[in-house]
């Protein structure tokens, strides 16, 4: 998404009013307006880049709006309108925030660690003495085992220690090497099998990173709050639902019908609700390839808010014999105030039918 108040290159495809072919000559004027302002001619002239694509550099002042409209006008072409949504934060701006995060870890955390290194034994004893009631709670919680264990240690004799050391020696020289040898022979498959048999779920193993960050008493969690969410970068994206590829290419079969009853209608969705209010609007889908044309009226399914949706249903007769690839299509709305808004442009392919023998 382009950044507000920052120069931005934009381009549009112009097609002939008469035969739908790319318009590559003549003078193309770009009219720009911000939000609900008035149109003005762009500072820079549009230039032809090839195959009917015209490009213009909008200045920072022309991009100083939440929504910027640019209309490409050529006397030989059908007018093309672009609706450009801007943002105050881009991926480039994240670098500044990340630098702040790194700077923070280079000051507060090391300083906190250095302060811990400066704590003396006397400081520890003083803190323990001042919180003796907490120690009493710990002892009570252990069921008084700790004092009993300390008393047992005081009663240890030399023979007890000799026996214990003998057991340790046996463990170090015999038991531990045997256990290491056994572990060396364990395969990954055996580990997975054992975990499945014991009902262990890896999904139950987690690290509470939020608690760790808060425990460091730094500003790292607060800095993450300033980073824009993904939805800030996807506003303005139009989703096309069935029958389409993942890239938005519309693919039709000659001889097929495309109705909502079979969940095959062409649905065009604006997830962020960035289209104008479509209440009372009329919808049309137009496709062109050379002199051939497809035109079909659609309907508004959801007029406002997130998930705005329009629908076009096609019959086999609508598609006719217009087979071939790389049709240009657009979906437009005529609003209740009489103004026309282009909602979606893209490519449409019609696959030839296979006739019965």
Residue 33 has pLDDT above 80, yes or no: yes
Taking residues 176-182, report their average pLDDT: 79
* C-alpha closest to that of 27 among 43, 39, 45, 10: 45
Taking the C-alpha atoms of residue 4 and residue 93, their distance in angstroms, rounded to an integer, is 12
- Which has more confidence, 333 or 198? 333
Residue 208 has pLDDT above 60, yes or no: no
In the prediction, which pLDDT does 200 show?
47
Q: Which CATH class is domain 236-351?
A: mainly beta
- Residue spans in the chain of domains classed CATH 2.60.40.10: 236-351
* C-alpha closest to that of 314 among 292, 293, 294: 294
Q: What secondary structure letter does DSSP report for 73?
A: E
Residue 224 has pLDDT above 50, yes or no: no
Taking residues 12-33, report their average pLDDT: 96
CA atoms within 13 A on the CB side of 352: 4
Taking residues 187-202, report their average pLDDT: 63
Radius of gyration of the chain (CA): 35
pLDDT interval class at 179 (50, 70, 90): confident
Taking the C-alpha atoms of residue 87 and residue 325, their distance in angstroms, rounded to an integer, is 36
8-85: in CATH 2.60.40: yes
Q: What dihedral do alpha carbons 106, 109, 115, 121 form, nearest 10°?
A: -140
Taking residues 163-180, report their average pLDDT: 76
In the prediction, which pLDDT does 181 show?
79
In the prediction, which pLDDT does 349 show?
87
What is the pTM (predicted TM-score) of this model? 0.35
H/E element, 124: helix 121-130
pLDDT interval class at 233 (50, 70, 90): very low
Other CB atoms closer than 10 Å to residue 253's CB: what's the count? Answer: 17
Taking residues 116-125, report their average pLDDT: 81
In the prediction, which pLDDT does 336 show?
96
pLDDT interval class at 44 (50, 70, 90): very high
In the prediction, which pLDDT does 170 show?
75
In the prediction, which pLDDT does 138 show?
62
Taking the C-alpha atoms of residue 212 and residue 105, their distance in angstroms, rounded to an integer, is 14
**75-105 residues labelled b (16+ CB within 10 A) or e (exposed):** ebbbebebebbbbebbeeeeeeeeeebeebe
| Among 35-39, 163-167, 231-235, the range of highest mean pLDDT | 35-39
> What's the pLDDT tens digit per position in 103-116?
666 666 667 677 77
In the prediction, which pLDDT does 183 show?
78
Taking residues 160-173, report their average pLDDT: 75
Taking residues 80-108, report their average pLDDT: 73
Q: What dihedral do alpha carbons 92, 96, 102, 103 form, nearest 10°?
A: 160
Taking the C-alpha atoms of residue 58 and residue 32, their distance in angstroms, rounded to an integer, is 9
171-176's contacts with Cβ under 8 Å and 24+ in sequence apart are none
In the prediction, which pLDDT does 144 show?
62
> What's the pLDDT tens digit per position in 277-315?
999 999 999 998 888 888 999 999 999 999 999 999 999
> What's the pLDDT tens digit per position in 122-156?
887 787 777 656 656 666 666 666 667 777 777 77
In the prediction, which pLDDT does 121 show?
83
């Amino acid at each position: 998404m382009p950044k507000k108040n920052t120069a931005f290159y934009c381009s549009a495809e112009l097609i002939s009013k008469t035969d739908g072919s790319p318009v590559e000559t003549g003078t193309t004027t770009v009219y720009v307006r911000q939000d609900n302002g008035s149109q003005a001619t762009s500072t820079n002239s549009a230039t032809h880049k090839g195959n009917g694509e015209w490009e213009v550099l909008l200045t920072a002042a022309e991009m100083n709006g939440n929504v910027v409209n640019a209309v490409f006008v050529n006397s030989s072409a059908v007018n093309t309108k672009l609706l450009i949504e801007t943002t105050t934060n881009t991926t480039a701006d994240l670098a500044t925030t990340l630098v702040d995060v790194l700077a923070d870890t280079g000051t507060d955390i090391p300083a906190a660690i250095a302060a811990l290194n400066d704590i003396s034994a006397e400081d520890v004893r003083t803190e323990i003495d001042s919180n003796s009631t907490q120690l009493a709670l710990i002892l009570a919680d252990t069921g008084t085992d700790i004092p009993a264990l300390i008393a047992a240690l005081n009663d240890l004799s030399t023979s007890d220690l000799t026996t214990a050391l003998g057991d340790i020696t046996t463990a170090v020289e015999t038991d531990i090497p045997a256990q290491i040898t056994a572990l060396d022979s364990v395969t990954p498959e055996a580990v997975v099998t054992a975990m499945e048999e014991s009902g262990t779920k890896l999904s139950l193993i987690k690290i509470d990173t939020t608690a760790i960050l808060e425990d460091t008493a730094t500003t790292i969690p607060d800095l993450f709050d300033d980073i824009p969410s993904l939805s800030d970068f996807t506003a303005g994206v139009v989703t096309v639902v069935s029958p389409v590829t993942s890239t938005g290419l519309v693919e039709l079969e000659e001889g097929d019908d495309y109705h909502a009853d079979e969940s095959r209608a062409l649905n065009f969705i604006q997830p962020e609700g960035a289209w104008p209010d479509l209440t009372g609007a009329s919808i049309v889908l137009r496709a062109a390839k050379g002199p051939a044309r497809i035109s079909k009226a659609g309907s508004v399914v959801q007029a406002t808010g997130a998930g705005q949706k329009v629908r076009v249903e096609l019959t086999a007769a609508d598609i006719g014999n217009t087979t071939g690839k790389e049709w240009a299509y657009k979906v437009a709305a005529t609003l209740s105030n009489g103004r026309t808004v282009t909602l979606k442009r893209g490519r449409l392919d019609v696959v030839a039918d296979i006739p019965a023998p």
